[in-house]
């Protein structure tokens, strides 16, 4: 029989309690905190995170749009290496305010007018949470059928929204189709590589004696002198020459300019194979003349890719759709819903007329990626359409945004931005000290003080040093120009008026200071 010990009778109550307390304290000290968040904790913290983000947006206009920090500010604020033991959510969140926020440029502040917009909306944020929750990797149809199929349908929806020619849509029996890339830069690179492979194979089939290296050395691609640097980068990565085509006085590439260079290059023995047209150039949102360029490219066997990274979103409005006329001559087209269509980064929509041109260039099929449906011809394996293998479920963001805004809501959003840019343009035009430097078509105004580049550089410096609004410059020909881009989802007339008053006041101060310096 087991002997029972009655501790109340042994007088050991105090002794035993002490031991228990010591053991508990010891356990607390030596045992690590729970390694992972469980679902109960996740529910609680998830709600707190959503509250934090909602508060962030509600208070965003009170935060300084451009940070004060100096390079290297962050390292001294955090430990040298990752913690050995888990830390609490509260501690991490506290450090977001202490360490991260001071170094954030607030892209969604209504006082942010730099670069081009980057999209943000609540439906897209919610879809991103879901995408993270599902956490699938959709490199092939079998790897997650919904991830592939929703993407194909969303690209068709979006293609229809901008009235893209049928050949670009996947539809049921088409040869074309759309895919989400991470960025416009990636889209240009992928298309340049596809065009390169197609051209090399075509030339080798006609001239089997020519080596790939020889053909590569003769290949030449083209883009506007206003094109984004990503086109030049695609040429660097693709190992081919890239030449700039001079744009006209409206910063647009004309057919005649392309023709002239093609003529010279063919005479010099080069092989033109790729032209990247831009709709909505980065410096001033100018538009290359697709209706002139397209027929030339088609006739000369040159792949025409159209980069409309920013401007593409505007084509959902019938009044801006004419800017896309001529896309019917293109082989591929790309724009970034993550710029101006309320779908958070990253979501760059790319379409190709003949998807085999693309997949033939990139198709590799190791056994571990094969699946039983791939030979049926009914499925899309997006890994053949892109550089990486892995891909996130990004089309969820499009689906949520398109459904919760509706096409009308999105059109309204684009129109509001365009109206605001014209409001700013009019303010500039009323001030004789300034000039508008390029036609304002969408949400970008390029302007400058009438005077030297140094004067304009000084003005931009004083604007950004004051940190009340944020702008970036560009060069148009030799002129240093200030770019005022309508960016935030919440920007309104009141912010435009504020920005202009602020710029005007800084200008007056700058000119006064200059006057004083003059002998």
Please say whether the beta carbons of 345 and 401 come within 8 A. Answer: no
- What is the pairing mode between strands 177-181 and 303-307? unpaired
Work out how close the CB of 397 gets to ligand PLP at its nearest, in angstroms, rounded to a whole number.
15
C-alpha span between 227 and 514 (Å, rounded):
35
3-state SS, residue 125: helix
Work out how close the CB of 426 gets to ligand PLP at its nearest, in angstroms, rounded to a whole number.
25
C-alpha span between 411 and 405 (Å, rounded):
9
Work out how close the CB of 108 gets to ligand PLP at its nearest, in angstroms, rounded to a whole number.
17
> 198, 228, 383, 397: which one contacts ligand PLP (CB under 6 A)?
228
Residue among 116 and 273 whose Cβ is closer to ligand PLP: 116
- 229: Cβ contacts below 8 Å, ≥ 6 apart: none
Residues numbered 337-376 forming contacts with ligand PLP, rule: CB under 6 A: 348
C-alpha span between 183 and 189 (Å, rounded):
10
Distance set, CA 266 to CA 113, 119, 258, 371, 425 (Å): 43, 42, 12, 45, 43
Residue among 144 and 181 whose Cβ is closer to ligand PLP: 181
Work out how close the CB of 98 gets to ligand PLP at its nearest, in angstroms, rounded to a whole number.
30
> 114, 180, 184, 503: which one contacts ligand PLP (CB under 6 A)?
184
Site string for ligand PLP, 292-331 (x = CB under 6 A): ---------------x-xx---------------------
Cis peptide before 327 (omega within 30 of 0): no
The answer to whether 230 contacts ligand PLP (rule: CB under 6 A) is yes
DSSP type of residue 287: B
Work out how close the CB of 156 gets to ligand PLP at its nearest, in angstroms, rounded to a whole number.
21
The answer to whether 278 contacts ligand PLP (rule: CB under 6 A) is yes
Residues numbered 116-135 forming contacts with ligand PLP, rule: CB under 6 A: 116
Residue among 327 and 510 whose Cβ is closer to ligand PLP: 327
> 109, 336, 344, 359: which one contacts ligand PLP (CB under 6 A)?
336
The answer to whether 507 contacts ligand PLP (rule: CB under 6 A) is no
Distance set, CA 305 to CA 28, 89, 279, 338, 351 (Å): 63, 47, 11, 19, 10
Work out how close the CB of 228 gets to ligand PLP at its nearest, in angstroms, rounded to a whole number.
3
The answer to whether 446 contacts ligand PLP (rule: CB under 6 A) is no
The answer to whether 495 contacts ligand PLP (rule: CB under 6 A) is no
Work out how close the CB of 349 gets to ligand PLP at its nearest, in angstroms, rounded to a whole number.
11
C-alpha span between 438 and 441 (Å, rounded):
9
> 64, 183, 204, 453: which one contacts ligand PLP (CB under 6 A)?
183
Work out how close the CB of 183 gets to ligand PLP at its nearest, in angstroms, rounded to a whole number.
3
Beta bridge partners of 306: 277, 333
Distance set, CA 347 to CA 119, 331, 414, 418, 461 (Å): 10, 20, 17, 22, 33
Burial of 156 (0-12, 13-18, 19+ CB in 10 A): buried
Work out how close the CB of 485 gets to ligand PLP at its nearest, in angstroms, rounded to a whole number.
10
Region of 79-87, 153-161, 274-282, 499-507 interacting with ligand PLP (CB under 6 A): 274-282
Residue among 233 and 259 whose Cβ is closer to ligand PLP: 233
The answer to whether 109 contacts ligand PLP (rule: CB under 6 A) is no
The answer to whether 156 contacts ligand PLP (rule: CB under 6 A) is no
Work out how close the CB of 237 gets to ligand PLP at its nearest, in angstroms, rounded to a whole number.
13
C-alpha span between 274 and 495 (Å, rounded):
42
Please say whether the beta carbons of 193 and 361 come within 8 A. Answer: yes
Residue among 230 and 395 whose Cβ is closer to ligand PLP: 230
Two tokens, residue 502: 């602020």
The answer to whether 441 contacts ligand PLP (rule: CB under 6 A) is no
**Sign of the CA dihedral running 452, 454, 459, 464:** positive
The answer to whether 288 contacts ligand PLP (rule: CB under 6 A) is no
Residue among 140 and 286 whose Cβ is closer to ligand PLP: 286
Strands (E) located in 183-317: 219-224, 241-245, 271-278, 303-307
Binding site for ligand PLP (CB under 6 A): 116, 183-185, 228, 230, 278, 280-282, 307, 309-310, 336, 348
């Amino acid at each position: 029989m087991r002997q029972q010990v009655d501790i109340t009778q042994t007088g050991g109550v105090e002794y035993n309690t002490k031991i228990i307390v010591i053991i508990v304290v010891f356990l607390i000290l030596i045992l690590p905190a729970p390694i992972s968040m469980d679902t109960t904790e996740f529910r609680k913290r998830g709600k707190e995170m959503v509250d934090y983000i909602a508060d962030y947006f509600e208070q965003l206009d009170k935060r300084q749009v451009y940070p004060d920090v100096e390079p290297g500010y962050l390292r001294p604020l955090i430990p040298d290496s990752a913690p050995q033991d888990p830390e609490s959510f509260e501690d991490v969140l506290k450090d977001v305010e202490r360490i991260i926020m001071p170094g954030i440029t607030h892209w969604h502040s209504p006082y942010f007018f730099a670069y081009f917009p980057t999209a943000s909306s609540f439906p897209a944020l919610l879809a991103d949470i879901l995408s993270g929750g599902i956490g699938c990797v959709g490199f092939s149809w079998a790897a997650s059928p919904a991830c592939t199929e929703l993407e194909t349908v969303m690209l068709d929806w979006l293609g229809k929204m901008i009235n893209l020619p049928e050949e670009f849509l996947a539809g049921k029996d088409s040869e074309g189709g759309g895919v989400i890339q991470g960025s416009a830069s990636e889209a240009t690179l992928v298309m340049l590589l596809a065009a390169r492979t197609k051209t090399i194979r075509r030339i080798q089939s006609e001239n089997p004696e020519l080596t790939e290296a020889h053909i590569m050395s003769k290949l030449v691609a083209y883009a506007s002198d206003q094109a984004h640097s990503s086109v030049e980068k695609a040429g660097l990565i693709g190992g081919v020459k890239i030449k700039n085509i001079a744009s006209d006085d409206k910063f647009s590439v004309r057919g005649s300019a392309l023709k002239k260079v093609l003529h010279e290059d063919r005479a010099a023995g080069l092989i033109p194979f790729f032209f990247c047209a831009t709709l909505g150039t980065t410096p001033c949102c100018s538009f290359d003349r697709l209706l002139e360029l397209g027929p030339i490219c088609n006739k000369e066997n040159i792949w025409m890719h159209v980069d409309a990274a920013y401007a593409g979103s505007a084509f959902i409005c019938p009044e801006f759709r004419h800017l896309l006329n001529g896309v019917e001559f293109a082989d591929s087209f790309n724009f970034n819903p993550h710029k101006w269509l309320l779908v958070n980064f990253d979501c760059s929509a790319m379409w190709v007329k003949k998807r085999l041109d693309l997949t033939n260039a990139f198709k590799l099929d190791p056994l571990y990626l094969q699946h039983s449906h791939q030979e049926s011809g009914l499925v899309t394996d997006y890994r053949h359409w892109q550089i990486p293998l892995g891909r996130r479920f990004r089309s969820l963001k499009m689906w949520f945004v398109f459904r919760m805004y509706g096409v009308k809501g999105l059109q309204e959003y684009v129109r509001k931005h365009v109206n605001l840019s014209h409001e700013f343009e009019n303010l500039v035009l009323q001030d004789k000290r300034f000039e508008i430097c390029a036609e304002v078509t969408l949400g970008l105004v390029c302007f400058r003080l009438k005077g030297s580049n140094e004067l304009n550089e000084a003005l931009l410096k004083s604007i950004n040093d004051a940190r009340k609004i944020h702008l970036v410059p560009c060069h148009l020909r030799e002129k240093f120009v200030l770019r005022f881009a309508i960016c935030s989802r919440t920007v309104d007339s009141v912010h435009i008026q504020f920005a202009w008053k602020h710029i005007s006041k800084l200008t007056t101060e700058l000119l006064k200071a200059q006057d004083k310096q003059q002998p």
